[in-house]
Amino acid sequence: MPIPDQPFPNLIKPEKPLRDKPLRVKPGESIDSGKGRTFPCDRCGADLVFSIGEQSLQCPYCAAIKQIEPPAEVPIVERDYLRAIERLKRLREKTSHDEESSITEHAIRCSSCGADVIFQGTLTSSQCPYCASPLQRDNIHDSVSRLPVDGVLPFLVPQTQAAANLRNWVKSLWWAPNEFLKQGANGKFNGVYMPYFTYDAATQTRFSGQRGDTYFVTVGEGNNRRTEQRIRWSYREGAFNRFFDDVMMIAATKQHLDLVEALEPWPLDQLMSFTPEVLAGFFSRTYDVELEDGFRGARQRMEAALSLEVRQRIGGDVQQVDSQQTNYSAVTFKHILLPVWLLAYRYQNKTYQVMMNAATGEVSGQRPYSWVKITFAAMLIAIVVATIWSFSNQNGGVSFSFGDRFPESNQWIQVR
């Protein structure tokens, strides 16, 4: 079955130009010769922080509220992947070693107490450890030498609700020790904006394989009479198109990918154009996973979904994939920041980490296990299996075998 040359017309949305400078005057005030940025209260001068309940900036001292006005002139659109790769390659050739070092280590003098706060690694928004004033690195999320942030999803789940969700999560852990269920996961929540890349791609896949349909035959005579399962194989091939939208990959290293992926799905329809105001009072990170590496991970997720669809299209009770070839085109991406509540707790001298989707409240975390409960359950299962096996032998039993030859195959995936 042929695949059209252009199966997905007009997939790439109009892209905003890769900007060399901000499109509007930034909110807040620049400090320390432009290295940092704060958001002082117009009434009392204290530092404003983002209020989840109000979805605005609020003063923790005089309760003054300042509404956030996202830049309407900066729409959230998909960016051309290949064009961005080429641009970053040119910038890397021009970037000096000192400029690269400034990305991973940066100092800002706090305007409230005068202390020097070191921003190491990819941290871009934090608090002064001496006076707790919120601080942000300036000109990092929209630096001309890096990919700008296209959108941000603000915190929607307040900390009180996060604590309630955590308690419910602990109660749902059946195989946890009883002592842990009583004391709970005790720790401090930290709000962090995590960098993500989302990828769109049009795919065209050709495949061939074997469809296996099971059937049963009766063989033997007398006491040897029994039913055997066999498989009838038939050849299948085909081709199909599939478009992937917003395949997500976290753009920060040293994260537990199983915990991160369990936070999905995210309400990306509530993304807003990036403004540094929503970061006030929270931690945030910039990406340290390159765009190409992120797409490799996204492509693995796409290939897994395509392999599942190939088997569905082959059909039957069992399938054998002989070949699967996939072409990718019209690849686009977005760079976004997503809100996560992080908590670390200790139980019996071991540290566990919990993540919470701060937009939906979904909890994903590490937890202790009760080996007493697991051992008891395993013993109970063994007793049940032994009982069924004994009953089956007393009644003649049922045997299964593959009467037909299992086809030889060369299962592989080629991506171009």
3-state helix/strand/coil string of 130-181: CCCCEEEECCCCCCCCCCCCCEECCCCCCHHHHHHHHHHHHHCCCCCCHHHH
| Residue range 26-47: mean pLDDT, rounded | 62
What SS3 class is residue 245? strand
Q: How confident is the model at residue 18 (pLDDT cuts 50, 70, 90)?
A: very low
Tell which wins on pLDDT, 130 or 274.
274
Go through 232-264 and write b for each residue having 16 or more CB atoms within 10 A of its CB, e for each that does not.
ebeebeeebebebebbbbbbbeebeeebbeebe
- 126, 124, 142, 157: which is closest to 71 by C-alpha? 142
pTM of the model: 0.74
Q: What is the CA angle 91-94-95, rounded to 5?
A: 85
Q: In the structure encoding, which two tokens stand for residue 272, read together?
A: 């807003």
Q: Residue range 303-320: average pLDDT?
A: 96
pLDDT for 161 beyond 90: yes
CA distance 283 to 279: 7
Nearest alpha-carbon partner for 196 in 146, 243, 136, 151:
151
Q: Does residue 411 sit in helix, strand or coil?
A: coil
- Cα radius of gyration rounded to whole Å, the chain: 28
How many residues comprise the chain? 416
C-alpha 147/C-alpha 128 separation (Å) is 27
* Per-residue pLDDT at 5: 47
The stretch 148-175 carries a mean pLDDT of 91
Return d(Cα 109, Cα 280) in angstroms, integer.
17
Alpha-carbon span 60 to 41, nearest angstrom: 10
**Higher pLDDT pick, 134 / 233:** 233
Edge-to-edge strand ranges of the sheet holding 56-58: 49-51, 56-58, 65-66
User: How many CB atoms neighbour CB 381 within 10 A?
Assistant: 10
The residues spanned by each domain of the chain are: 147-416
Mean pLDDT of 225-242: 94
pLDDT above 90: residue 212: yes
Mean pLDDT of 378-407: 68
Selection from 31-35, 53-57, 67-71, 167-171 with the highest mean pLDDT: 167-171
What is the arithmetic mean of pLDDT over 89-93?
81
- Residues 19, 71: contact at Cβ < 8 Å? no
For 34-38, 60-64, 148-152, 267-271, which range has the lowest pLDDT when averaged over its residues?
34-38
Could you tell me if 232 and 328 are in contact, meaning their C-beta atoms sit under 8 angstroms apart?
no
Tens-place pLDDT, residues 213-222: 999 999 988 8
Burial of residue 137, with CB atoms counted within 10 A of its CB: 0-12 exposed, 13-18 middle, 19 or more buried: buried
